Amino acid sequence: MSLRMALLGLLSASGPSSGYDLTKTFATTLNHVWHSTHSQIYPELGRMAEQQLVSVSEQGARGRKTYAITERGREELKRWIVEVEPDRRVRSVEALRAFLLTEVEPEQAVEITRKESEINQQLSAQLRDIRARYSDGDREPFGDFAMEFGIRRYDAVQQWADWARKRLESESAQRVTRSAKNKNRSSSG
Amino acid sequence: MSLRMALLGLLSASGPSSGYDLTKTFATTLNHVWHSTHSQIYPELGRMAEQQLVSVSEQGARGRKTYAITERGREELKRWIVEVEPDRRVRSVEALRAFLLTEVEPEQAVEITRKESEINQQLSAQLRDIRARYSDGDREPFGDFAMEFGIRRYDAVQQWADWARKRLESESAQRVTRSAKNKNRSSSG
DNA sequence: GGATACATGTAATGAGTTACATGATTCC
DNA sequence: GGAATCATGTAACTCATTACATGTATCC
């Protein structure tokens, strides 16, 4: 249902749009929220039209269909937001990698956390950028809460990665120190 | 591949286990990392055995099969961790709800953020608990990085929810103040 | 006339969920 | 003997990804 609700939310907030328009929004803003692509979006819009959650409000050039949210669609959306218990089952590749981090050589683990920090910093910056552009009048009314959510999540992962790298490096340092001591002991014994 | 790598990681770190054992670990610790259940785990172990990433090291009572990671499995696991670029496509119901928050009445939005904060606090506490028990000797060697990751992520969402609730409440307050002023104006005019 | 962007679709495959199904052992 | 737990499996369905497929309008 999430893809469906994301589509209804966009149609509600930004007004009537084509599948093509919606796909572009999914590729930019919504990419930080709920990823999807046209091969999922077009058939879903079709099913939603069948069920009268949206209507084809206009047919334009190049086969363009403009969809609008219906009253039924709006009701469904609101009902879902307040009534449906969110699915909290976690499936996070980042968390899994964290889980598996000690399976590889310490130097490789350090490199992974370094990269993870870098990428999450970039993603956070990307979102801050989108937010800055929105604030300049171009503002969609409902973006703020989601952007803040995304920024905080990316920042948290970045901070985790920095913490993990430091921990890995201090462990390596201890190992080096220990092996240096062993060397001294064996050469002096 | 993620389910497969989670299974290889568990077999590598905790030693030979049955599908049943692995399923229990998925239901507890790994639930905060990569959710899965027996109906996915059993067939996957079968496919992994076919491909010699694991071997059936023992057959016990009640049809119990104990799987062990093979050298090939270990290589595959390490290769995946360091070489395979993680899929960063986001699909987060929490972020989506944040996105849709302004579609419902302010009071409902406040209630949603209140609940979100509460639940994430509980999830964070749950993980801290698991970590505390691990520290008491029972320690699996590789849990720390993933637990820290999960705790930070839950805490970030909790903090977002608190921030969002405050923002929603101050907006409501402003609306109330404004409507009170309008009332005064109309009654005095 | 050719490149680019607009615009929509479908088919095959893979991953994940829910429900169904069965049987063995242990504890009381 | 009955309940609980151990233990493994499969089938139907939904959701998501990748690749294939086609055609139009605009800009240069």
pLDDT tens across B5-26, in order?
999 999 999 999 999 999 999 9
pLDDT digits (tens, 9 = 90+) for B65-88: 999 999 999 999 999 999 999 999
Residue A139 pLDDT > 60: no
Residues 72-131 of B with CB under 8 A from A: 77-78, 81-82, 86-104, 108, 111-112, 119, 123
pLDDT band at B180, cuts 50/70/90?
Answer: confident
Residue A147 pLDDT > 50: yes
Answer whether A3's CB lies under 8 Å from A22's CB: no
Q: What is the dihedral of CA A108, A110, A114, A120, to 10 degrees?
A: 90
Say how far apart CA A22 and CA A6 lie, in whole Å: 10
Say how far apart CA B38 and CA B19 lie, in whole Å: 7
pLDDT band at B184, cuts 50/70/90?
Answer: low
Answer whether A104's CB lies under 8 Å from B81's CB: yes
Lookup: tokens for B39: 């109906």
User: Long-range contacts: A21-27, Cβ < 8 Å, 24+?
Assistant: A22/A67
Lookup: tokens for A177: 């120190």
Please tell me whether residue B60 adopts helix, strand or coil conformation. Answer: coil
- HSE, side-chain direction, 13 A CA sphere, residue A107: 1
Cβ partners under 8 Å of residue A21, min gap 6: none
Residue B139 pLDDT > 70: no
* Cβ distance of A156 and B156 shorter than 8 Å: yes
The least confident of A153-157, B52-56, B103-107, B173-177 is B173-177
Look over chain A and give the mean of its residue pLDDT values, rounded to a whole number: 91
Cβ partners under 8 Å of residue B96, min gap 6: A2, A5, A6, A9, A33, A34, A146
Phi and psi angles of residue A68, each rounded to the nearest 5 degrees, phi first: -125, 145
A47's enclosing H/E stretch is helix A38-50
Nearest to B40 by CA among B68, B80, B91, B3: B3
pLDDT digits (tens, 9 = 90+) for A104-133: 999 999 999 999 999 999 999 999 988 887
pLDDT digits (tens, 9 = 90+) for A9-44: 999 999 999 999 999 999 999 999 999 999 999 999
Lookup: tokens for A168: 């890995």
Proximity of residue A16 CB to strand C below 7 A: no
Residue B189 pLDDT > 50: no
Residues 142-171 of A with CB under 8 A from B: 142-143, 145-146, 148-150, 152-153, 155-157, 159-160, 163-164, 167
Residue B140 pLDDT > 60: no
Residue B187 pLDDT > 60: no
Please tell me whether residue B68 adopts helix, strand or coil conformation. Answer: strand
**Residue B62 CA distance to nucleotide D8 C1' (Å):** 9
Entry pTM: 0.92
Nearest to B51 by CA among B63, B35, B67: B67
Say how far apart CA B81 and CA B88 lie, in whole Å: 15
A149's enclosing H/E stretch is helix A143-188
